[in-house]
């Protein structure tokens, strides 16, 4: 196991900057995610760690060892690719054993390590099968076993679940989390799937257009995003433009075109008259306010409802206040997620009162 440091890393292809001055610390034994949309630079970062690309600036370190000039085969990293990259002419055992043969590990030791790796991914009885005889999920387990059998200092995963169906993705998430816990290997995982990152990561770095937007634990990123991009990219949210009317040490009093809101005051500098955005998650809305609570209630009209069993998704339009002249008013359409909905369906076209607790309103300056 090693730690990993990006120190002011830069990478460009021709005149296009793909990674811009990235500084990041990944701790020993951490399951760390690079998350972002296509083209944000996350796979480029992974390939620089593997040694397939060289940085154009900055320093890449394993522990305190500079790695910029170290070739891929001397980095002791295990790679799990999006498309599995298994040898079709080799059996499961042959695929897993390949890296050990290259490293000239003795036969007895090879066989023991291959068997242990296959048992770890629960494929022991299938060692004589060929990739074409296996499901996508089984092939991905083979790829994991092949990466882990060499006992890498660092495990690199490049969108490993994107080719699997929804149910297999759920199963493989649990498997990756279990395997990481068992092995304790430092792992760098690239994905654009927010749910994947939220469900199994120790920490996540969110990238956009080659820039690092925010780093933190999944719960921190979801509950306390620092920008509109992170709030919108990590899950779903509603944005309401607002202006700060008053403030104190604990709260911000906000004016929106749909009504007044009180939000818990986040860290940072805030001032009366400042224009901001309120980020409110769909599940943060309530159809009833707690007894004695008269603030943070906005009037709305139900436009659509989708019943999903365990929850119901409502699309409502905020009706308080007046439409601002010259604007689309698109922000007035808000999504509401209700857990454990009642057996009686809501009335489309009916009036609603939406409540949101102050601690569930995230105030953003941008």
Mean pLDDT of 79-86: 89
pTM, full prediction: 0.90
| 117 phi and psi angles, rounded to 5 deg | -65, -40
Q: Tokens for 175, please give them.
A: 């498997």
Residue 149 to residue 115: CA distance in whole angstroms = 9
pLDDT at residue 50 greater than cutoff 70: yes
- Structure confidence by residue, pLDDT tens digits, 297-330: 999 999 999 998 889 999 999 998 765 544 558 8
Mean pLDDT score of the chain? 93
Q: How far is the C-alpha of 267 from the C-alpha of 86, rounded, in Å?
A: 49
- In order of their start, the domains of the chain are 4-229 (3.40.50.300), 236-364 (2.40.50.140)
Flag the least confident range among 34-43, 285-294, 328-337. 285-294
Question: What pLDDT was estimated at residue 1?
Answer: 83
- Which strands, in side-by-side order, build the sheet including 351-355? 333-339, 311-318, 297-307, 351-355
Name the residue with higher pLDDT: 289 or 319. Answer: 319
């Amino acid at each position: 196991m090693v730690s990993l440091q990006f120190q002011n890393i830069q990478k460009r292809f021709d005149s296009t900057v793909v990674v811009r001055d990235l500084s990041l610390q990944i701790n020993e034994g951490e399951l760390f995610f690079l998350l972002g949309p296509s083209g944000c630079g996350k796979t480029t970062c992974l390939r620089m760690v593997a040694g397939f690309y060289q940085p154009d600036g900055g320093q890449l370190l394993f522990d305190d060892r500079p790695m910029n000039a170290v070739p891929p085969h001397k980095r002791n990293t295990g790679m799990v690719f999006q498309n599995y990259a298994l040898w079709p002419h080799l059996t499961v055992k042959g695929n897993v054993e390949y890296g050990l043969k290259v490293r000239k590990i003795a036969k007895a030791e090879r066989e023991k390590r291959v068997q242990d790796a296959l048992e770890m991914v629960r494929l022991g009885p299938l060692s004589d099968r060929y990739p074409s005889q296996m499901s996508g999920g089984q092939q991905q387990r083979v790829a994991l076993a092949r990466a882990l059998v060499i006992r890498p200092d660092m495990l690199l995963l490049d969108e490993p679940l994107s080719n699997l169906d929804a149910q297999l993705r759920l199963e493989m998430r649990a498997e990756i989390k279990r395997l990481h816990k068992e092995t304790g290997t430092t792992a760098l995982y690239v994905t654009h799937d927010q749910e994947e990152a939220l469900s199994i990561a120790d920490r996540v770095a969110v990238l956009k257009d080659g820039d690092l937007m925010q780093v933190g634990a999944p719960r921190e990123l979801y509950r306390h995003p620092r920008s509109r991009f992170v709030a919108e990219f990590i899950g779903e949210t509603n944005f309401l433009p607002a202006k700060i009317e008053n403030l104190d040490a604990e709260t911000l009093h906000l004016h929106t075109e749909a009504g007044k809101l009180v939000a818990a005051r986040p860290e940072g500098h805030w001032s009366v008259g400042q224009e901001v955005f309120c980020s409110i998650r769909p599940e943060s809305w309530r159809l009833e306010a707690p007894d004695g609570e008269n603030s943070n209630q906005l009037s709305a009209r139900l436009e659509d409802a989708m019943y999903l069993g365990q929850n119901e998704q409502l699309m409502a339009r905020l009706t308080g206040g007046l439409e601002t002249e010259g604007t689309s008013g698109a922000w007035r359409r808000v999504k509401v997620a209700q857990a454990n909905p009642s057996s009686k369906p809501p009335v489309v076209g009916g009036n609603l009162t939406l409540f949101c607790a102050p601690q569930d309103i995230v105030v953003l300056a941008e």
